[in-house]
Amino acid sequence: MKKTNHIITQNQYIFLLVSAVIGIGIISAPNSLCQTAEQSGWIAIMLGGIYPLVISYCAYLNYKYFGNMYFFELNKKLYGKIGAYLVFFFFFCTILFYEASIIAGFTNLLNSSISSFLPVYLIIFILTFVTVFTAYFGLQTVGRLAEIIFYSSSILFLFPLLTFSKGNIVNILPVISSYHKIIESIPSSFYAYADIELAFFIMPFVLQKNDFKKAGIKASTIIIVIYTFLVFTSIYILGYEVASKIYFTLIYLMEVAEIPIITDFKAIFIFLWSGVVFKAIACNHFVVSYTFSKLTKLTYKKSCLIVSPFILGVAIAMIPAHGRTQILDKIVPYIVPITILYSIITAIMVLIKGRRKL
C-alpha cells in the first residue's frame, strides 16, 4: 500500500495554522466578545492573541531542541509511554470536539440561510464525507488545499469594508470600556484561536525549517490581525449592543451590504466562505485521525475512516445552535487552561532536557 504523504512546505505550515483557526468561529466572535468587553471587544481579541503566539513558540522549542522528533515520541521521552497516551487521548478528544463543533456550527448557518431546503442530517453527512475524503490522502493534500484556498479567498476578509460607510466612530468610543471587562473577556477569546495546537503535530513534517520561529509568529500574526480587524469592523458598523445580540455577526454585515446588481450578497458570501470553513474542518480531521492512529496503532487512512462516525455523532448532538453554544460554554473553559498548562510545562521540560543534550 502506498504510504500516506504528510510532507509539507514552510508556507503550507503557515497556511495550515491560519486555516485551522480561521473558520466558523470568526463569524460569531464579535457576538461573544461584545457581551463582556462591549466596544472594547476588538482589544480583547487582540490581547487574546498571546495564545497562538505561545503555542506556536512552544512548537518551535520542540523543534529547536529535539529536531524532527514526532510529537508522540517527544511526549514519550518527556512523560513516559502512559503519559504520552494520556496527552494524545486529550488532544484526540479536544480536536474531535472542535471538528464536530465547526461542522455543527456551519450546518446551523447553512440551514438558516442558503440550504434551508436540505435536511440538517444530510448537510452534516455531506460536510463530513467531503472532509474525510480530503484528509484521507494525507497532510500534504490538506496543506495544498489550505494554501490554494487562502490565496483565492483572502479578498473575503475585506468584504466587511463594503459596509464601512454605515459605521459611526461613536460606536467604538470610549476605546476602553473597562479594564476589568477587557481582562475578563480575554479567556473567552482563546476559543477563537482554538486549533492552533495543530502546530505541535505538523511541525516534524515541514520540509524546510529555515526561520521556523518566524513562520509560527507570521501565522499567529496573520490570525490576530484578521480577527482584530473583523471584530473592530463589526463594532464600528453595528455598535456593541447590536453585535452582542446577533450570533452570526459577520453574516449580518454581508446581509446589509448594498452592492449594485447583486441582490443577495449574503448568500454569495456564505457560498464563498464555505471553502474557508471546509479547510478548517480538514485540518482538524487530520489531527483527529493522526492521534487516533497513534493511540490504536492503526494506519492513518484506516483511522481517518473509523473516527468519522464519532464526529458525526458529536456534531449531531450540537444541533440546534443553542445546544452547541451550551456545550461549548461548559467544555471550552476547561480545555483551554489545560492546553496552556500542558504547553508551558512541556516547554520548560524541553528547555531543561534539551539543553542537557547540548
Q: Does pLDDT of 2 surpass 60?
A: no
In a domain, 163, yes or no: yes
Mean pLDDT of all residues belonging to the chain? 88
Q: CB under 8 Å to 253, separation ≥6 — which residues? A: 160, 163, 233, 234, 237, 238
* Rounded distance between C-alpha atoms, residue 256 and residue 144, angstroms: 34
* Rounded distance between C-alpha atoms, residue 286 and residue 255, angstroms: 33
How many Cβ atoms are within 10 Å of 172's Cβ, its own excluded? Answer: 19
Q: By the 8 A CB rule, do 202 and 8 touch? A: yes
In a domain, 5, yes or no: no
CA neighbor of 55 nearest in space, from 351, 344, 352, 332: 344
Quick: pLDDT tens for 179-233: 999 998 888 788 889 889 999 999 889 987 778 889 999 999 999 999 999 999 9
Phi, psi of 174 (to 5 degrees): -65, 150
Task: List b or e across 76-102, with b for residues whose CB sees 16 or more CB atoms inside 10 angstroms.
Answer: bebbeeeebbebbeebbbbbbbbbbbb
In a domain, 4, yes or no: no
Question: Higher-confidence residue: 311 or 268?
Answer: 311
Q: By the 8 A CB rule, do 195 and 280 touch? A: yes
Categorize the per-residue pLDDT at 254 as very low, low, confident or very high, splitting at 50, 70 and 90. confident
Domain of residue 194 covers: 10-357
Q: Does pLDDT of 325 surpass 80?
A: no
Categorize the per-residue pLDDT at 1 as very low, low, confident or very high, splitting at 50, 70 and 90. very low
Bridge partners for 206 per DSSP:
8
Cell numbers standing for residue 104:
455543527
pLDDT, residue 108, reads 87
Q: What is the pTM of this model?
A: 0.91
CA neighbor of 166 nearest in space, from 218, 239, 229, 112: 239
- Each as own residue / partner, the long-range contacts of residues 289-295 (CB below 8 Å, 24 or more positions apart, any chain) are 289/135, 290/201, 291/88, 291/89, 291/91, 291/92, 291/95, 291/201, 292/92, 294/72, 294/88, 295/85, 295/88, 295/89, 295/92
* Rounded distance between C-alpha atoms, residue 100 and residue 308, angstroms: 10
In a domain, 176, yes or no: yes
In a domain, 3, yes or no: no
* Rounded distance between C-alpha atoms, residue 7 and residue 208, angstroms: 10
Cell numbers standing for residue 212:
521556523
In a domain, 328, yes or no: yes
Quick: pLDDT tens for 262-298: 667 778 888 888 888 999 999 999 999 999 999 999 9
Q: Does pLDDT of 13 surpass 70?
A: yes
Q: CB under 8 Å to 5, separation ≥6 — which residues? A: 137, 138, 139, 140, 141
Count of structural domains, the chain: 1
* Rounded distance between C-alpha atoms, residue 46 and residue 27, angstroms: 16
* Rounded distance between C-alpha atoms, residue 252 and residue 22, angstroms: 18
In a domain, 128, yes or no: yes
Quick: pLDDT tens for 38-72: 999 999 999 999 999 999 999 999 888 888 889 99
Q: CB under 8 Å to 194, separation ≥6 — which residues? A: 21, 25, 98, 332, 335, 336
Quick: pLDDT tens for 138-158: 999 999 999 998 888 888 888
Q: Which stretches within 8-119 are classed as H helix? A: 10-21, 25-37, 41-47, 50-66, 71-111
CATH number of the CATH domain containing 218? 1.20.1740.10
DSSP-derived 3-state class of residue 161: helix
CA of 183: how far to CAs of 24, 221, 234, 336, in Å? Answer: 24, 20, 20, 16
Task: Provide the sign of the torsion angle of the four alpha carbons 327, 20, 102, 226, taken in this order.
Answer: positive
